[in-house]
Chains A and B, each alone.
Chain A
Amino acid sequence: MSQGFFDEMTNGAADPRAIYSGVANWLRAAPPEILDARRDQAELLFRKIGITFAVYGEKDAAERLIPFDIIPRLLGGDEWARLEAGLIQRVKALNMFLTDIYGRQEILKAGIVPPDLIFRNECYRPEMQGHRAPHDIWTHIAGIDIVRVDDEDFYVLEDNCRTPSGVSYMLENREMMMRLLPGLFADHAVLPVDNYPDNLLASLRSAAPPHCADDPRIVILTPGQFNSAYYEHSFLADKLGVELVEGRDLTVRDDIVYMKTTEGEKRVDVIYRRVDDDFIDPLVFRPDSVLGAAGLMGAYLAGNVTLANAPGAGVADDKAVYTYMPDIIRFYLGEEAKLKNVATWRCREQDALKYVLEHLSELVVKEVNGSGGYGMLVGPHASKEQIETFRQKLLSDPDGFIAQPTLSLSTCPTSFTGGVAPRHVDLRPFVLSGADGVRIVPGGLTRVALKEGSLVVNSSQGGGTKDTWVLATNAK
């Protein structure tokens, strides 16, 4: 067992934690050949289904398989209840924050969040200023990345308010486990996640423009098959029973969006778009984009279509704004944040920058606008040259970075050829906001850093996934 980390199965003791006793017994009893065989079967099945993702900047990896680990990650019902309450609180505050930023800007006037952090951020969209998103929902689908360091607290690592991906893995991983290890699954009272598509559909329906008739037409807008998450886009369209469209399938006439079909044009009311802001409308954003539809923003601003998530929502998932989340929650809800934030140095502040530069080899440094684990320095694992490069980057653009302590992420048992070993994990639950409230299925995507000692769980950086079992029984 690795030293100094919270292992979710053993917590450093000889006996496993109560909720893990079933898994521990199974691991003890199962011959290594069985585990090996199940692993091979899992890989084969994933290949057959064709769940792949593309890694940007890598030549031969257009269609790579995310490694799947067959040992489930367990959470007790009591742990989940705490986490769920924190997620609901956080996402409510995020939506209120966005409504405020594009509206009256009370939080800026109150001096809680520095205005330059918002307005100098490329994700702030001046085009949205003064506009109210339908039902004041900006981030219909949020992915909140969570880590644990002990058996008590959950920490939020980052908020993803734009187009968080990975939910298809959450659903496929569950199917896989039920097929591969039906006995183990049956021995545990695992709460279901398979109603996620129904929840998503209900949330999107509720977010339709207020004037819309009973049955809004919903589509998923994908950038196309070369996007790294294309599999997920088509998967979700299939599960939701809605059309998967590309920009060229849409046309906007007199501020109304139509989808071209073999039966003529059909009016579209809600677009779950997996296309970034920059690309959704060549008349308003990038003129060279062919991934969106010309006039879409006009239709949106006229209130004739709902875009999920709303344009400009990305300003809330900025890593520097993240550091203010406890204040943001207090400001709008008058409550203390139920989920903790990781201590963060804002390099834009003189003292913080000084500290960070002196402790680069201990810290994790992240680009304020980065995502997917790109543009990140993990001090303890970095070479001298990498540290030097980051020192220069920090000096030339301190505003562009934040730093955090290297967290002792919790570990979970993970199966490899030749045995089982603990590996670091995080969790991305998906939080759905609709006009009728917040919906979360119990679970999420557990990502696991497969390399020994590695803390980077991003699939683009060699991470794998696990099924997350939220149990009806309590951990304590």
Chain B
Amino acid sequence: MRARVTLQIEVAFSEPVRSANTLLRLTPRPFDGLHVLDWFVGVEPVATLRRIEDGYGNMSHSCSHAGPLERIAITAEGQVETQDAAGVSRGLHEKQPLDLFLRHSHDGPGEEITAFAKSVSGADRLSRLHLLMGALHDRIAFAPTDSAPRAAAAVFAEGKGCAREIAQIFVTAARSQNIPARFVSGLLLDGAEGAAFHAWAEAHVDGIGWIAFDGALGFCPRDVHLRLAHGVDYWSAAPWRQAFSGYADQKVETRLKVTAARQASWQTQQ
């Protein structure tokens, strides 16, 4: 599908802060399932945005603001064309080996998630991953939120979580079965999330490559998923991170506007 996407993040501080540093991963990188026609990232008050490809191959921007500062507005906007690639993320610039995506967090996968992942069996790795996604979808109720994600084990025990938390459980579960898996952050173009940001997971299957699994929605990402970044966990793939110095409460408002553009390829337009 072809769409014009406008994402806005508004940060308001209850008191003016002395300074703020921001890291953005809001620039989609094209791959077989994604054609980026144009893309723009901006920040207000105006600051130099320094572009850097991070260790995973994501395109990131960083900026700093000197205070006194009451609000920061971030905009990412552009036109993209997504294709249903049955979830396969092929054609990305891969900078890290599969082994990295088998790494466990410090406290390990936890017994419950390991047992859960173990209980899902399939004819081969691919079908097993599909079943894992389905089982996770049934097991964890999807409750969208934009607040910081909690630990996978805790969310699993509670049985309710946001897309990022469910993605993290999928990653943890897959790794516990020695399947390379990584965290992906992105946007949903059909507005189904109810929150601005969405997240899913990718797992690696030999012979095919990285395949995306959306445990929150219960299906493999199709053309409504716009992929922004991936990493070993949520924090390394987070679409934006910010730290400020000063005594203030931070209120964040995110808005995502998607206008479907006419289905057309470049060729027919010309």
Q: Interface residues, chain A, CB within 8 Å of chain B? A: 115-116, 118-122, 124-130, 248, 251-255, 282-287, 294-295, 298, 301-302, 397
Additional pairs, 6, CB under 8 Å, beyond known A126-B232, A294-B245 = A126-B56, A283-B21, A283-B241, A287-B241, A298-B23, A298-B52
Interchain CB contact (< 8 A) of A284 among B23, B66, B232, B242: B23
26 example contacts (A-B, Cβ-Cβ < 8 A) are as follows A116-B102, A118-B99, A119-B99, A120-B104, A126-B55, A127-B54, A128-B55, A252-B21, A253-B64, A255-B50, A282-B241, A283-B22, A283-B62, A283-B241, A283-B242, A283-B243, A284-B23, A286-B235, A287-B243, A294-B21, A294-B243, A294-B244, A294-B245, A298-B21, A298-B50, A301-B52
CB distance from B175 to the nearest CB of A (A): 10
Complex-state Cα separation, A165 to B162, whole angstroms: 42
State whether A130 and B95 are in contact (beta carbons under 8 Å apart), knowing that A282-B243, A295-B62 are contacts in the complex: yes
Residues of B within 8 A of A121 (CB): 103
Q: Is the CB of B62 within 8 A of A119?
A: no
Residues of B within 8 A of A294 (CB): 21, 243-245
Which residues of B, 6-53, contact A by the 8 Å Cβ criterion? 19, 21-23, 48, 50, 52
Interchain CB contact (< 8 A) of B106 among A122, A255, A287, A397: A122
Smallest CB gap from A251: residue in B: B19
Q: Is the CB of B55 within 8 A of A127?
A: yes
Which residues of B, 54-77, contact A by the 8 Å Cβ criterion? 54-56, 62, 64, 66
CB distance from A113 to the nearest CB of B (A): 12
Complex-state Cα separation, A251 to B19, whole angstroms: 8
Q: Is the CB of A119 within 8 A of B96?
A: yes
Smallest CB gap from B148: residue in A: A287
Q: Is the CB of B100 within 8 A of A124?
A: yes
Complex-state Cα separation, A125 to B241, whole angstroms: 18
- Most chain A beta carbons < 10 A, residue from B22, B56, B100, B148: B100
Q: Is the interface of A mostly helix, strand, loop or mixed?
A: loop
Residues of B within 8 A of A285 (CB): 235
Q: How many residues of B contact A (CB 8 A)?
A: 33
Q: Is the CB of A126 within 8 A of B236?
A: yes
Per-residue 0/1 for B176-194: is the Cβ within 8 Å of any A Cβ (1 yes, 0 no)? 0000000000000000000
Residues of A within 8 A of B48 (CB): 254
Interchain CB contact (< 8 A) of B100 among A119, A251, A282, A302: A119
Complex-state Cα separation, A325 to B223, whole angstroms: 49
Smallest CB gap from A250: residue in B: B245
State whether A120 and B100 are in contact (beta carbons under 8 Å apart), knowing that A255-B50, A295-B64 are contacts in the complex: yes
Interchain CB contact (< 8 A) of B21 among A118, A287, A295: A295
State whether A298 and B99 are in contact (beta carbons under 8 Å apart), knowing that A126-B55, A283-B241 are contacts in the complex: no
Is the CB of B207 closer than 8 A to any CB of chain A? no
Q: Is the CB of A129 within 8 A of B95?
A: yes
Interchain CB contact (< 8 A) of A129 among B50, B96, B103: B96
Complex-state Cα separation, A253 to B64, whole angstroms: 5
Interchain CB contact (< 8 A) of B99 among A115, A129, A253: A115
Complex-state Cα separation, A120 to B235, whole angstroms: 17
Q: Is the CB of B23 within 8 A of A120?
A: no
Complex-state Cα separation, A302 to B21, whole angstroms: 15
Smallest CB gap from B53: residue in A: A130
Complex-state Cα separation, A284 to B21, whole angstroms: 11
CB distance from A267 to the nearest CB of B (A): 14
Interchain CB contact (< 8 A) of B64 among A120, A124, A127, A254: A254
Complex-state Cα separation, A292 to B19, whole angstroms: 15
Q: Is the CB of B96 within 8 A of A283?
A: no
Per-residue 0/1 for B229-270: is the Cβ within 8 Å of any A Cβ (1 yes, 0 no)? 001100110000111110000000000000000000000000
Smallest CB gap from A253: residue in B: B64
Complex-state Cα separation, A301 to B23, whole angstroms: 14
Residues of A within 8 A of B66 (CB): 253
Complex-state Cα separation, A334 to B97, whole angstroms: 28
Interchain CB contact (< 8 A) of B103 among A122, A255, A298, A397: A122
Complex-state Cα separation, A120 to B175, whole angstroms: 11
Smallest CB gap from A312: residue in B: B55
Q: Is the CB of A120 within 8 A of B103?
A: yes
Residues of A within 8 A of B19 (CB): 251, 253
Smallest CB gap from A400: residue in B: B108
Q: Is the CB of A120 within 8 A of B243?
A: no
Complex-state Cα separation, A129 to B52, whole angstroms: 13
Q: Is the CB of B243 within 8 A of A119?
A: no
Q: Is the CB of A116 within 8 A of B99?
A: yes
Residues of B within 8 A of A301 (CB): 52
CB distance from B110 to the nearest CB of A (A): 12
Residues of A within 8 A of B96 (CB): 119, 126, 129
Residues of B within 8 A of A122 (CB): 103, 106
Complex-state Cα separation, A349 to B11, whole angstroms: 52
Residues of A within 8 A of B55 (CB): 125-130
Q: Is the CB of A126 within 8 A of B245?
A: no
CB distance from B242 to the nearest CB of A (A): 7
Residues of B within 8 A of A252 (CB): 21, 64
Q: Is the CB of B23 within 8 A of A126?
A: no
Residues of B within 8 A of A129 (CB): 55, 95-96
Q: Is the CB of A119 within 8 A of B50?
A: no
Residues of A within 8 A of B104 (CB): 120
Residues of B within 8 A of A254 (CB): 48, 50, 64
Q: Is the CB of B50 within 8 A of A251?
A: no
CB distance from B216 to the nearest CB of A (A): 22
CB distance from B101 to the nearest CB of A (A): 8
Residues of A within 8 A of B56 (CB): 126
Complex-state Cα separation, A122 to B103, whole angstroms: 7
Give the top 4 A-B pairs by smallest Cβ distance, nearest first.
A294-B243, A119-B99, A294-B21, A295-B21
Complex-state Cα separation, A86 to B66, whole angstroms: 49
Complex-state Cα separation, A397 to B103, whole angstroms: 13
Complex-state Cα separation, A126 to B100, whole angstroms: 8
Complex-state Cα separation, A335 to B241, whole angstroms: 46
Complex-state Cα separation, A252 to B64, whole angstroms: 8
Complex-state Cα separation, A125 to B96, whole angstroms: 11
Which residues of B, 92-131, contact A by the 8 Å Cβ criterion? 95-97, 99-100, 102-104, 106, 108
Complex-state Cα separation, A368 to B48, whole angstroms: 43
Residues of A within 8 A of B232 (CB): 126
CB distance from B96 to the nearest CB of A (A): 5
Residues of B within 8 A of A124 (CB): 100
Which residues of B, 142-159, contact A by the 8 Å Cβ criterion? 148
Complex-state Cα separation, A285 to B54, whole angstroms: 13
Residues of B within 8 A of A127 (CB): 54-55, 236
Residues of B within 8 A of A284 (CB): 23, 241
